[in-house]
Chain A
Amino acid sequence: MRRRTIDFYKAFERFWHWTQAILILFLALTGFEVHGSYQFLGYRQAVLYHTTAAVAFLALIAFAVFWHFTTGEWRHYVPTRQLLRAQLEYYVAGIFRDAPHPTKKTPHSKLNPLQKLVYLGLKILVIPIMVASGLLYLFFRYPQAKGLMTLAGGRLVSIALVHTAGAFLLVAFVIAHAYLITAGETPVSNLKAMITGYEELEDHEEAAVSVAAAGD
């Protein structure tokens, strides 16, 4: 099996990924304080930092959207049912037997089918809902305040519940995601790749063969 080291994760990609990771963690830390789950930074500070981090997150999203479309990276997130089952079976059974990964990372297909599905869900569902509900939460105004109407047309409660539910979901995702990092070639290879950008991959032909083999 021929192996070679390639520049797998681009500079912006890594900047985007880690900033997003830290912002999500920071938003969770401050958000759950605003939610009353604990007292840590102080309520007023938590609100301020949460808002500021949210604005930064919006800016990051704007850059990320631009990057995904101009580079064509969005194609990595087109979902496929091919090998989805195999990937699931790998996590349920194969991984314990040290079976080979059913899908191989290539620069043309960075994500396995399960990642495609989950990340796409984050990109088009969870994060947009969090952004939308967050903006409504932020700019929600009492209907009578200087003639401003509520943007949601309803009470803050529904906005808040959606935003809270999404936050719980994101925290659960981050935990699972952080764990699954260890499911690479070696427990730290994925982490190392996302930090340095370099990924050690098998040759393309090898990958193609294994895709075919896992298909049956």
Chain B
Amino acid sequence: MRLIPLTLVAAAIFGVLLTGSLQRQTGRSDTIQDLKRIYARKHVPSVDHKKFAILQKKFSSPQEVTPACISCHTERHKEVMASTHWNWSREVYLPGRGIRDIGKKNLLNNFCIGVSSNLQGCSKCHAGYGYTDNDFDFTDARDVDCLVCHDNSGTYTKTSAGLPSPEVDLNFVAQRVGRPQRGNCGTCHFYGGGGNNVKHGDLEQALLSTSRDVDVHMGTDGADVECVVCHTARNHKMLGKMYSVSSMNQDRASCEQCHGANPHADGVINQHTVKIACQTCHIPTYAKVNETKLAWDWSTAGRLRDGKPYEVEDADDNPTYASIKGTFTWAKNVRPDCIWFNGTADHYLIGDPVQPGTPVRMNDLHGSYDDPGSKIVPVKIHRAKQIYDPETRMLIQPKLVGNRKGEGAFWQDFDWNSAAAEGMKSVGLPYSGRYDFIDTVMYWPVNHMVAPKEKAVGCVECHTQTNSRLAKLGGFYMPARDHDPIVEWSGMMAITLALAGSALHGAARIVMSRKRRAV
């Protein structure tokens, strides 16, 4: 009877443990099935383009295909011609700079630097035909390339000046158009920067056919969805921003589109979504199949062997050096860096001054803990060393691509001086005749290669003192990551004193009592 209270103690503790355990046993396993039912439906085309007479007549140039498309889709070309896939720029508001017209057309990046004076090569990824210089007529609808995005035959490829390769059978392709598939988007978005997975790290050819372990959405054993299921389009305006060229917090594709704001069964995890983007936990690593480029040093470019350019490859067949481009660093299964981001970005605009000794931020992603619109997002940080003018203190737009030697193109002549002069002339900026190289850095938000939920980042990968994923982020306290040295020191001291004091006091009592007994 005396021990009833102690039984109650045991009962109370058992209650605590039971309640604690039950709290995490609620689940919503049906949700993923619901989402699959809605979004992973197979697309069934509503027309068969093979049956249209106008697509039967022999096309001798791609510019004849486009009017055929327009003859039925009478307004679609206008939508394309209003899009960034066509214009390579858009009007944006940049805080502190005002309204600017910026995009791929005039921004510099950390890879092949910029398109100006290089359009012959770069326009391979333009949704049009013949964009070879600044005089391209952006109002001529015949130059809209419908096929690059809508070819469902898988035989359409583009070559220099954005024209289809000579071996493409235009009639065959035109009769097999439809909703864009992975390969359509991937033909440009997988190979940006001059090779597979060079730029993004999370977008590459492995996604054409992959497993859910690599990408839970695109894996054939996962949701197996096309890009356009998330990157939905209205009037040829697609959701989704890449902040190499985008600046404003609008028209972004988001996980929440399908998953909602609070998709977890665990309330504490849902609370995390206030400050942490889904991608931060659900993309533990990127470049899971093939390596991505993490660094690009242009300053070593131009070395020749027997007067000829050469390449050095590593064990994975990735070039670590190329005479035309310089030295590269590649990596696979990369843990993303984390930054605060509110969806707005500034960019290095051509002509902006640079500070020698300070890395130039090619794109500056805005955000902070204190900003209510900011979340922690994972990014790939790409570092480079690129050419600049120490006199004018501007980054240099070099001319890289040329048809023949003697035009000043670096990839033909391997002479930085003439490449710089030609390139800067194309953007209407001065070049002093002197060049040097400066560190540049670029941030690429990582959004793809979402892992299955059981492989999501666990608590202690961030909530830890050692090597936390969020180690570099300041301005807030995070349990387990942050410790106050004074509290820790005095706390440990208090415990040590209590232990040592008890031990010494106890030992002294034992010794003294033995002495007394011995007397």
> Which residues of A are in contact with B by a Cβ distance under 8 Å?
11-12, 14-15, 18-19, 22-23, 26, 34-36, 39, 42-45, 47-49, 51-53, 55-56, 60, 91, 95-98, 142-145, 155-157, 160-161, 164-165, 167-169, 171-173, 175-176, 178-179, 182, 195-198
Q: A18-B5, A97-B512, A168-B494 are in contact. Are A23 and B465 (CB under 8 A)?
A: no
Expressed in whole angstroms, the Cα–Cα distance for A173 and B479 within the complex equals 24
B99 an interface residue at 8 Å Cβ cutoff? no
With A18-B6, A18-B9, A144-B274 given, is the CB distance from A171 to B463 under 8 Å?
no
Instruction: Note all chain B residues with C-beta closer than 8 A to A53.
Output: 16, 20
Complex interface residues of chain B between 439 and 485 (CB less than 8 A to chain A): 458-460, 463-465, 476-477, 479-484
* Given contact pairs A144-B274, A176-B501, A164 touches B12 in the complex (Cβ within 8 A): no
The minimal Cβ–Cβ distance linking B493 to chain A, given in whole angstroms, is 9
Contact B487 A36 (CB under 8 A): no
Q: Mark B338-381, 1 if CB is under 8 A from A, else 0.
A: 00000000000000000000000000000000001000000000
Cα A179 to Cα B497 with chains together (Å): 13
* A26 and B16 form a contact (CB under 8 A): yes
Q: A98-B513, A168-B490 are in contact. Are A36 and B480 (CB under 8 A)?
A: yes
A-B contact pairs, 17 of them (CB 8 A): A12-B5, A14-B6, A15-B5, A35-B479, A35-B480, A36-B465, A43-B458, A45-B24, A52-B17, A96-B512, A143-B372, A168-B492, A171-B495, A171-B498, A175-B499, A179-B498, A197-B2
Contact assessment for A96 and B509 in the assembled complex, using a CB-CB cutoff below 8 Å: yes
Would B498 and A176 count as touching, CB distance under 8 A?
A: yes
Contact across chains for A160 and B479 when beta carbons are under 8 A apart: yes
Collect the chain B residues with CB atoms within 8 Å of residue A49's CB. 16-17, 20
- Given A43-B460, A156-B476: A56 and B12 interface contact (C-beta under 8 Å): yes
Bound-state CA distance A198–B1 (Å) is 12
B497 and A161 form a contact (CB under 8 A): no
Chain B interfacial positions (CB closer than 8 Å to A): 2-6, 8-9, 12-13, 15-17, 19-21, 23-24, 266, 268, 271, 274-275, 372, 458-460, 463-465, 476-477, 479-484, 487-488, 490-492, 494-495, 497-499, 501-502, 505-506, 508-509, 512-513, 516
Q: Which residues of A are found within 8 Å of B5, using beta-carbon distances?
A: 11-12, 14-15, 18, 197
Known: A98-B513, A182-B506. A52 touches B4 (CB 8 A): no
Q: How far is the CA of A142 from the CA of B9 in the complex (A)?
A: 37
Bound CA–CA A97/B20 (angstroms): 49
Residue contact A164 to B13, C-beta cutoff 8 Å = no
- Give Cα A182–Cα B502 distance, bound, in whole angstroms: 10
CB–CB A56/B506 < 8 A:
no
**Cβ of A182: which chain B residues have Cβ within 8 Å of it?**
506
Q: A34 contacts B479, CB within 8 Å? A: yes
Chain B nearest CB, measured from A30 CB (Å):
9
Bound-complex Cα distance A34 to B465 (A): 11
| CA gap between A56 and B458 in the complex, in Å | 27
- Closest chain B residue to A92 by CB distance? B505
> A171: which B residues are within 8 A, CB to CB?
494-495, 498
How long is the Cα–Cα vector from A114 to B4 in the complex, in angstroms?
30
> Are A23 and B479 interface neighbours, CB within 8 A?
no
Q: Are A172 and B497 in contact (CB under 8 A)?
A: yes
Given contacts A43-B463, A142-B274, contact A175 B6 (CB under 8 A): no
| Contact in complex: B458, A22 (CB < 8 Å) | no
Contact B16 A23 (CB under 8 A): yes
How far does the alpha carbon of A117 sit from the alpha carbon of B504 in the complex, in Å?
Answer: 24
Q: A14-B5, A18-B9, A172-B494 are in contact. Are A48 and B487 (CB under 8 A)?
A: no
Contact yes or no, A48 B477, CB < 8 A: no
* Beyond A97-B512, A157-B484, A167-B491, 12 extra complex contacts between A and B, CB < 8 Å: A18-B6, A19-B8, A45-B20, A98-B512, A145-B271, A155-B476, A164-B484, A168-B495, A172-B495, A176-B498, A179-B505, A182-B506
Q: How far is the CB of A96 from chain B (nearest CB, A)?
A: 4
Residues in B neighbouring A52, C-beta threshold 8 A: 16-17, 19-20, 23
**Which residues on the A side are within 8 Å of B479 (C-beta)?**
34-36, 160
Q: How far is the CA of A156 from the CA of B477 in the complex (A)?
A: 6
Q: Which residue of A lies closest to B503 (CB)?
A: A179
A157, B477: Cβ atoms closer than 8 Å: yes
Given the known interface contacts A49-B17, A52-B23, the answer about A39 and B460 at a Cβ–Cβ threshold of 8 Å is yes
User: In the bound complex, how far is the Cα of B7 from the Cα of A18, in angstroms?
Assistant: 10
- The listed residue (A55, A165, A172) touching B487 by CB distance below 8 A is A165
Assembled-state Cα–Cα distance A202/B56 (Å)? 115
CB distance from B7 to the nearest CB of A (A): 9
Contact residues in A for B509 (Cβ distance below 8 Å) = 95-96
Smallest Cβ-Cβ distance to A176: which chain B residue: B498
Residues in A whose Cβ lies below 8 Å from that of B498: 171-173, 175-176, 179
Interchain CA distance A169-B24 in the complex, whole Å:
31
- Closest residue of B by beta carbon distance from A30: B20
Given the contacts A176-B501, A179-B506, A164 and B487 also touching, CB distance less than 8 Å: yes
CA distance A144 to B12 in the complex (A): 37
A11 surroundings in chain B (CB, below 8 A):
4-5
With A and B bound together, what is the CA distance between A36 and B476 in angstroms?
16
Whether B20 contacts A48 by the Cβ 8 Å rule is yes
Residue of B nearest to A36 (CB): B480
C-alpha spacing A198/B487, complex, angstroms: 41
> What is the bound-complex CA distance between A51 and B21, given in angstroms?
12
Bound-complex Cα distance A42 to B24 (A): 13
Task: Provide the residues of chain A in CB contact with B463, threshold 8 Å.
Answer: 34, 36, 43
CB distance from B215 to the nearest CB of A (A): 26
Contact, CB under 8 Å: B24 / A142:
no
Contacts A26-B16, A161-B487; A179 near B9 (Cβ below 8 A)? no
Q: Are B20 and A175 in contact (CB under 8 A)?
A: no
On whether the beta carbons of A36 and B464 are closer than 8 Å, the reply is yes
The reply to whether B484 and A161 form a contact with Cβ atoms under 8 Å apart is: yes
Which residues does chain B contribute within 8 Å of A12, judged by CB atoms? 5
Q: How far is the CB of B203 from chain A (nearest CB, A)?
A: 32
Return the chain A residue nearest B497 by Cβ: A172
Given A36-B479, A179-B505, A22 and B465 contact (CB-CB distance below 8 Å) = no
